[in-house]
Structures are given as C-alpha cells and as structure tokens.
Amino acid sequence: MGNTDTGYPSSRVAIPPAQPFLKSLKYSLKETFFPDEPFRQFKNQTASKRLVLGLKYFFPIFKWGPQYTIKFLKSDIIAGITIASLAIPQGISYAKLANLPPILGLYSSFIPPLIYAMMGSSRDLAVGTVAVGSLLMASILGREVNPKENPKLFIHLAFTATFFAGLFQASLGLFRLGFMVDFLSHAAIVGFMGGAATVVCLQQLKAILGLEHFTHEADVVSVMRSVFTQTHQWRWESTVLGCCFISFLMVTRFLSKRQARLFWVSAMAPLTSVILGSLLVYFTHAHKHGVQVIGELKKGLNPVSVRDLVFVSPYMTTAIKTGLITGIIALAEGIAVGRSFAMFKNYHIDGNKEMIAFGTMNILGSFTSCYLTTGPFSRSAVNYNAGCKTAASNIVMAIAVMLTLLFLTPLFHYTPLVVLASIIVSAMLGLIDYEAAIHLWKIDKFDFLVCISAYMGVVFGSVEIGLVIAVVISVLRVLLFVARPRTFVLGNIPNSGVYRNVEQYPNANHIPGILILEINAPIYFANASYLRERILRWIDEEEDKIKATGKTSLVYVIMDMSGVGNIDASGISMLEEVKKIIDRRGLQLVLVNPGSEVMKKLHKAKFLEEIGHNWIYLTVEEAVGACNFMLQTYKPNHTKDESEGWNNV
C-alpha cells in the first residue's frame, strides 16, 4: 500500500481475509495443543485400521515388535543385563535415601520398566528410581510423618504420592499440556540438579561416618551442624570403607570416560562394590563392630498395594503436594534424558506420549508397592553405551530384577549401608555439572544467575525452595522478554538495499530526515507502555543528535514490524497514542510489513484508515525510497496532519 499518487512504485501489504471466530479459535487451540497433528494418521482410515493405529500410538511395542530381530535381541539382552547390574544396587540405595525399605527399590525396578517397554517411545531410556525424586519424597513426606515412628503410614503415603505423580503426568500427556514442563529452563535444571546432588551427597555422611542419629533437614547448615556435633560418635571403620569404595567407583567412572568401550567397567562397579562389601562384612564380622548393614530382605515379587493408598485428610494434601512436585521433576529429567539420546541416534520421541507412559507406570507402580520412577541419566547412559536397540532392554532388566527378588535377596543381608552411600555419592557427583555452569557464565550471565540461584536455594534452603526459585526466575525471565522487548535503530548497509541494527553494524548509514526503528516482539498489554516510552525516547534522541549536528530535521519515523507476530487492544491503543504524539510534533509515522494477524486487527480497529493506507510499505527499502522521494519532491509541512499522506500537496 504505497503512495501511488506520487508516482513512486511500491508493493501492497495485503489485509488477510476475515476468518470466523470459531475457525480462528480452532486454529489457535490446534497450534497450542496439537502442533504435531497426532490425528493426521487416522484420516480416511477404516475403523479396524484406526484401532490398530491407536494401539500403536499408545503402545509403541506393537509398532516395533513385528520388526524385531534376533540381532536386536542379542544387543538388548547384553544391555538389559548390564543395566540390571546397576539397577539393583541403585534401587536399594535410592530406597534408603527415600527413607523406605530397601526392597521397595527392587520392586520399583521390576514393574515400571515392563510398562515403559510397552508404552515408551524412547529406545534408550532405562527406567528406575532416581536420587532427586527419592530425596524430595523423603523431605516432603518426612515433615508430615516420621518414617521411624510410623513407618507403615510413611510407606503408604509414598505409594499415594506416586499415584498422584502418575495421575498428574498422565493428565499432562492426555491433555497435551507438556509445554508446561518447558518452564523449567536448562539453566534452572542444571542448578537444581546440582544443588540436589550436593544435598544428597551430604546426606550420605550419616552412613559414611557411621552415625545413628542424623538431621531430617536437607540444607547444608543443618547437615554440617548434625555432623560436627557428633564427632565423638564417628566410626572410623565406616569412614575407611566409604572412602575406599567411593575411590573405587570414581576410578572406574574415570576409566569408562577415557575409553568408551570400557563402559561396562563403570556399569558393573556398583554391583561389584555390593558383592565385595558384603563378603568383607560377612568374613570380618564388621557388622558387630559398628558397620551398619541392610539386614533381611524378604523374597517374593511385588505385593499388591492398591488398598494401602491414603485418601483421607490431612495426609492426602501432603501426598498430592509431594506427587505434583516429584512428578514435575521426574518428567523434566526423563524427557530431557530421552530427547538427548534420541538426538544421538537421530530419531524422535513424542513428549506427550512419554508423559502418558511415565504416568501409567507410576499409577500402576503405586498399586504394586513401587514408588516414583522415571528415566535416570546414569542408567540410560549405560543402556545407550551397552548398545541397546529397543525398549526391550528394560524387559531384560526387569526379568533380572525378578529373578533377584525370587532367589537372591538373602545375599544382600550383609551389604553395608556405607557401600550404598558410596554408590549414591559417586552417582550424584556426576550430576554436579560445573562445566555447564561455566558455559552458562560465558554465554549468558542471566542464565548463570538462574542456575546459581536454584543451586543456592536447594543447598541453603530446601529442595522445594530451590525448585520454586528455579521456576520463578525462569518465568520472570520469560516475562521480561515479553515486557521488555528489544527495539533497534536501523541503518543502511553501504552499497545495498539492506537495513540492519546500527549497534551490530557500525558501518550502517543513518538516512537524513528519517528514523528507522525495528520491534522484535508481539505487542501486548505487558509491553505496550514500555514500547511507547522507548519509541518516543528514540525520537527524542534522534532529534537531539540532529540539533547538535545542524543537519536536516527529522520528518519520518519508520517502524519495521516484520518481527511483530501479534498485537492486542492495548498494543493498538499504544500505536494510536504514538501516532498522535508524532503528529503533534509534525512528523509522519510509517509502518513496514505488519504480519497477517497485526494487519487484520489494525484493519478492524480502523487504525489503517487513521494512519493512511499510503503509509504502509512491504519493505524498509520501499519505505525509505518513498520517504526520500517525498523529501526531494515536496517541502514538508510540519504543521499539517500528515496521516493522509501527501496526496493533497
């Protein structure tokens, strides 16, 4: 819509055809909740075909199962046995971390992996309990019920919290609300996981020092106070064992990192530690000299626990709170890990299907004496390095755990708690990603602030405080991006028709009499006032520069709106106000390339008529050309209302 009456050629910015409200709403909802268009495959299919496709969608095992080969089976058996050797000691260790009976860690490594193998879309994720989720559960539930004074109720609340975590996860997947998890930024997750890992390591000082009484608080101050007020109760036997096994585990991890083909050394190290520790205690009778052991683990598969769920006040509120918090963290970790390994193997996983799979395995797990499970990084990394081909490696691992539950649990009687603590410490040290924090510092100081704030919140406050800080700062940054969008002054790149930010390209030339601004964000109520003030400040600064140099006065203000994807009523009011102020100064507002949604709303608000169709251009080059043409052809009359263009000059 250039100024055709002046003879200057220009392209027209089209106003998109009006769309019915329901059609626009349907499109918006589809883009929000169904960006991957999951129902496309069901179009024009028979009822039986739709049933088969539906089964394959919710149960991917029906998709890859018919193409399964003996070669895949060999790889998955090796991977499954390898991760089972890690899952068994980790399961026992993390259950102790959650203040739950160790056997529950084995139960949780049996049923959930079977469910995930049928419903999960990742080939590499190895399902099991995680340290951070275990710590969260112990921390939140421990404030309501003491696990030592009322262990039965504590266990039942753990099952109930797992049920609500699964319900929440499955609901997010079914209602396509997975984008909510994205509010946990990468920086927030790095800081939160590092803080949680630090707290978990500090909690292991109880077993490493052989202490019987220890604080239930998770912050570093409480832990250090508890440690150093009991120096007379430290057991040197436990400390020596702990240091030896931590060193052994760290050396094996170092070897595995140096030589990728030696991944099995690190994977087998935890089970080797359990065997060596148990034999050492058995033959030296160390359990009679202050070295604490697991004790008896009953044989048998998971007992049904559906009747143990607690749905009565006041415990139900605590269970729901615990379920929501642990469910979010488990989702964030599981999906992030799954996507990482999918990227390495160049395949795609569906985040919403993963949520449904996680939710289902936790719901059914809560019915079968399991507590919270997800896809931990350490176990999945071992699964990946072991050469797994499909999710069937989880089935192999589950079978190995089942055989352990049926026949081998008595062998863990003499396993020292200090070995379990060593396994946890070695696993947690890998979650303190200081290299990622340094990387954030180099790239984005605000991201580093998010990371370190989440870390400090966990270490000096609590896991919940750290999580809240991480989410609040991440959301605050999103709001800052929206409320304070970037605006730039554009200049002409010499010998071209290209206009770019003059700060990024110092050689870009200013156009005499013309100020070119670029807005790179939607214009909403949250940023309308800021943009009004920023635009007027740009104009004031430009006029001050012109006065100082004595050059041609400012006549045109061009606003490049190519980056403005949408605008609301407050944004339109802001543009109207800016135009009136510009008019009073004797200047002319020119718009460049408003998007389809913006043009539609400006047309409905009659702003296009107010500014004049002749002052809207398709490109900055056209707008500048037209303005220069007017400056050279006509002497501007700054006292008249130029919203009508120069048609009547």
Q: For residue range 257-266, what is the model confidence (pLDDT) as tens digits?
A: 787 777 778 8
CA distance 120 to 163: 18
Inform me whether the pLDDT recorded for 1 exceeds 50.
no
Edge to edge, what strands does the sheet with 487-492 contain?
499-501, 487-492, 514-519, 556-560, 588-592, 616-617
The pLDDT, as a whole number, for residue 648 is 35
Contact 616, 594 (CB under 8 A): yes
The pLDDT, as a whole number, for residue 645 is 40
pLDDT tens for residues 83-108?
888 888 889 989 988 999 999 999 99
How many other C-beta atoms can be found within 10 angstroms of the C-beta atom of residue 390? Answer: 23
Inform me whether the pLDDT recorded for 207 exceeds 90.
no
Inform me whether the pLDDT recorded for 5 exceeds 60.
no
pLDDT tens for residues 579-632?
999 999 989 999 999 988 899 899 889 998 888 888 899 999 999 998 888 888
Q: What is the pTM of this model?
A: 0.76
Confidence grade of residue 11 (pLDDT, cut at 50, 70, 90): low
Inform me whether the pLDDT recorded for 430 exceeds 80.
no
pLDDT tens for residues 117-129?
999 989 999 999 9
Contact 207, 227 (CB under 8 A): no
Please list the alpha-helical segments (H only) found in 444-505: 445-460, 463-483
Inform me whether the pLDDT recorded for 10 exceeds 70.
no
Contact 197, 429 (CB under 8 A): yes
DSSP code per residue over 47-58: HHHHHHHHHHHH
pLDDT tens for residues 337-391?
888 788 778 888 888 888 999 999 999 999 999 999 998 887 888 888 888 899 9
Contact 366, 170 (CB under 8 A): no
What the chain holds in terms of domains, given with CATH numbers, is 61-477 (no CATH), 485-633 (3.30.750.24)
Greater model confidence, 39 or 447? 447
- Residue 588 is encoded by which pair of tokens? 């002319």
pLDDT tens for residues 502-558?
999 999 988 888 999 999 889 989 899 999 999 999 999 988 888 887 767 889 999
How many other C-beta atoms can be found within 10 angstroms of the C-beta atom of residue 283? Answer: 9
Confidence grade of residue 114 (pLDDT, cut at 50, 70, 90): very high
